């Protein structure tokens, strides 16, 4: 038996005046039992002589009927009360079942069919409209039940000193392609790619359009098994992906074959109800203070304060995320060959020369993002529970506070949405960054992912050169901004690898190992002055592609290069293997590595 506060619906014509209470406390009522009468003001149409219709004011009497069954507890309104707006509680009813958990139109508690809607417009299925479960699309709960579930979950997690980690799949912990060449390479030991793809997993999914099915080839990000094993000691793990249910199920069999880490906590686009955005409230409608997200896309989360953005994993160069076709294009670093009709190669992180003849590919893929990510997650966990201990908040007291009906059980608990931004903002605080040759001509710098990402770590991003700049992040020398910055010893001219290392490790790493060497030139200053004089009437546009090479004798090749720079000048690790090497410790991609056309 549960006490329920009945409230007046929005369908009434407010304001209303309570005229008479029709049932006494302790009365058993059924659905549509008259509960009270009320008056309301309106206008009615009257017909006068010659069939003329006019609108005249009127005060009418109406009856409000019971929307539920139960026993009347107490009235919270009196005769003569004027109710101005909807939502006012007017009585309590003790119900045998509140239908707080529903599945496919049925109450999961009492079995009642809740799809029936009577003339009053009240629908009991609306009492449980929160879908907070991963893989059960038809299951919904009421807000009260959702709060109860999350409170119990929080008590359990706090007792175990754990947090929650929501894990994206594609290009966060795996990389997938559907190119059949991978299957051919895996079958041919004489192929130069055989050892590199020997540990690539494969599975086939069938659908009505292709009964024979499509083959998927999956490369697990290096260190994932160890990462999941260690992080699962500190976090409860959930999968949230824009992929289909069938795809996510197959991937979970690869990365978690025993269901040890994720269990059935897998949410896909088939259940999420949104094909373009992810929302934590789909899983945690009441409270997200314990939740951390790892994803290679920040935009799909609207750069949530719960997000830890990771550098995308790209083993199959030029493929990208095969499940992102319906998502908005990411305004971030553009990968070489990512356009339609590109070529497929192995990532520069794959050292084919170091693959042993025994077939052991260990050490071949030098991507170490998960190592950095694990360190960050441990720091976040430690910081949360330091704040938790400092506040002297224990899970037992949380449970007791909930028993006080009107008190929020979350009061006094730390919040990830506060802790992580505070940790991040100190990393690049005081750092003023100017980009050169990386942001496409005409681009709005405020929407570029790397700019949003860097600002979340406290960096100041500027569009124009000034002596306030502390770091010039450039792809190549010879640009106007590089030449300007080179005149000032306090400005570090660095490769993009420096910035990405800072963002991956949540640490302001020394710039010395990432310096972009600018060759000495006797005509250096004159060239700057000449350019400034010759181009003083040129207005800079958004982006940073005003950084053309300052060579008065630009030939046709240079013009072609500039055109490409204007369109595709976002930095890519794959465009500069040396930068890739600095960031992840991998070898360079050799020119003689075979390339297969898609």
Closest to 249 measured CA to CA, from 236, 230, 263: 263
> Are 11 and 40 spatial neighbours (Cβ–Cβ below 8 Å)?
no
Secondary structure string (H, E, C) spanning 79-135: CCCEECCCCCEEEEEEECCCCCEEECCEECCCCCECCCCCCCCCCHHHHCCECCCCC
Whose tokens are 């994803």? That residue is 295
Residue 168 a catalytic site member:
yes
Which residues are paired to 345 by β-bridges? 317
User: Cα–Cα distance between 330 and 545 in angstroms, integer?
Assistant: 19
Q: Which two tokens stand for residue 569?
A: 């000048």
Using CB atoms within 10 A of its CB, is residue 242 exposed (0-12), middle (13-18) or buried (19+)? Answer: buried
Which residues are paired to 170 by β-bridges? 174
> Are 388 and 414 spatial neighbours (Cβ–Cβ below 8 Å)?
yes
Catalytic site residue from 3, 113, 118, 168? 168
User: Cα–Cα distance between 316 and 314 in angstroms, integer?
Assistant: 6
> Are 286 and 147 spatial neighbours (Cβ–Cβ below 8 Å)?
yes
- Tabulate helix, strand, coil % of the chain (nearest 5): 30, 25, 50
Sign of the Cα pseudo-torsion (558, 562, 568, 574, in order): positive
Residue 170 a catalytic site member:
yes
Catalytic site residue from 113, 170, 349, 545? 170
Q: Which two tokens stand for residue 44?
A: 């009615």
- Longest CA span, the chain: 105
Three-point CA angle 74, 77, 83, nearest 5°: 150
CA-to-CA separations, 597 to 182, 194, 265, 318, in angstroms, rounded: 12, 17, 38, 11
Closest to 193 measured CA to CA, from 586, 596, 597, 598: 596
Mind telling me the catalytic residues?
Answer: 168, 170
């Amino acid at each position: 038996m549960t006490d329920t506060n009945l409230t007046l619906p929005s369908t009434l014509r407010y304001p209303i005046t309570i005229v008479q209470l029709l049932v006494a406390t302790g009365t058993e009522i059924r659905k549509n039992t008259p509960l009270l009468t009320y008056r309301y003001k309106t206008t009615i149409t009257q017909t006068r002589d010659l069939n003329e219709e006019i609108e005249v004011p009127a005060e009418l009497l109406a009856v409000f009927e019971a929307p539920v069954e139960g026993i009347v507890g107490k009235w919270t309104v009196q005769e003569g009360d004027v109710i101005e707006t909807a939502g006012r509680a007017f009585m309590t009813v003790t119900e045998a079942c509140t239908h707080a958990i529903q599945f496919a139109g049925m109450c999961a508690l009492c079995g009642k069919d809740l799809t029936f809607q009577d003339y009053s417009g009240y629908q009991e299925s609306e009492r449980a409209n929160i879908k907070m479960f991963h893989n059960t699309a038809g299951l919904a709960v009421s807000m009260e039940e959702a709060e109860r579930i999350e409170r119990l979950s929080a008590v359990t997690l706090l007792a175990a000193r754990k947090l929650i980690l929501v894990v994206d799949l594609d290009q966060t912990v795996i990389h997938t392609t559907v190119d059949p060449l991978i299957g051919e390479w895996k079958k041919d030991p004489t192929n130069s790619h055989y050892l590199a793809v020997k540990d690539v997993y494969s599975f086939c999914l069938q659908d009505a359009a292709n009964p024979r099915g499509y083959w998927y080839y999956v490369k697990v990000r290096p260190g994932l098994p160890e990462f999941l094993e260690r992080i699962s000691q500190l976090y409860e793990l959930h999968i949230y992906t824009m992929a289909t249910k069938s795809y996510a199920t197959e991937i979970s069999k690869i990365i978690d074959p025993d269901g040890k880490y994720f269990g059935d906590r897998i949410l896909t686009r088939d259940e999420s109800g949104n094909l373009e955005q992810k929302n934590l409230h789909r899983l945690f409608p009441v409270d997200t203070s314990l939740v951390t997200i790892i994803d290679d896309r920040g935009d799909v989360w609207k750069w949530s304060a719960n997000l830890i953005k990771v550098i995308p994993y790209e083993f199959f160069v030029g493929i990208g995320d095969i499940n992102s076709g319906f998502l908005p294009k990411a305004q971030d670093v553009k990968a070489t060959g990512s356009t339609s009709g590109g070529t497929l190669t192995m990532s520069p992180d794959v050292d084919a020369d170091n693959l042993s003849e025994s077939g052991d590919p260990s050490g071949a893929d030098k991507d170490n993002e998960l190592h950095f990510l694990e360190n960050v997650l441990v720091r976040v966990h430690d910081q949360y529970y330091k704040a938790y201990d400092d506040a002297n908040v224990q899970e037992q007291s949380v449970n007791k506070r909930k028993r006080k009906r009107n008190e929020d059980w979350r009061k006094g608990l730390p919040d990830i949405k506060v802790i992580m931004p505070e940790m991040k903002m100190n990393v690049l605080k005081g750092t003023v960054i100017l980009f050169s040759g990386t942001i496409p001509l005409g681009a709005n710098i405020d929407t570029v992912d790397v700019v949003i990402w860097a600002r979340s770590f406290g960096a100041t991003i500027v569009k124009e050169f000034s002596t306030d700049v502390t770091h010039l992040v450039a792809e190549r020398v010879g640009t106007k901004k590089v030449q300007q910055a080179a005149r000032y010893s306090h400005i570090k001219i660095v490769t993009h690898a420096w910035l990405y290392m800072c963002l991956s490790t949540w640490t302001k790493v020394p710039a010395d190992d990432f310096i972009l060497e600018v060759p000495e030139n006797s005509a250096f200053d004159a060239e700057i002055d000449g350019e400034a004089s010759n181009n003083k009437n040129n207005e800079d546009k958004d982006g940073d592609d005003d950084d053309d090479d300052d060579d008065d004798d630009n030939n046709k090749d240079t013009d072609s290069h500039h055109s490409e720079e204007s369109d595709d000048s976002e930095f890519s690790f794959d465009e500069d293997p040396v930068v890739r090497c600095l960031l992840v410790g991998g070898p360079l991609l050799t020119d003689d590595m075979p390339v297969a056309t898609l």
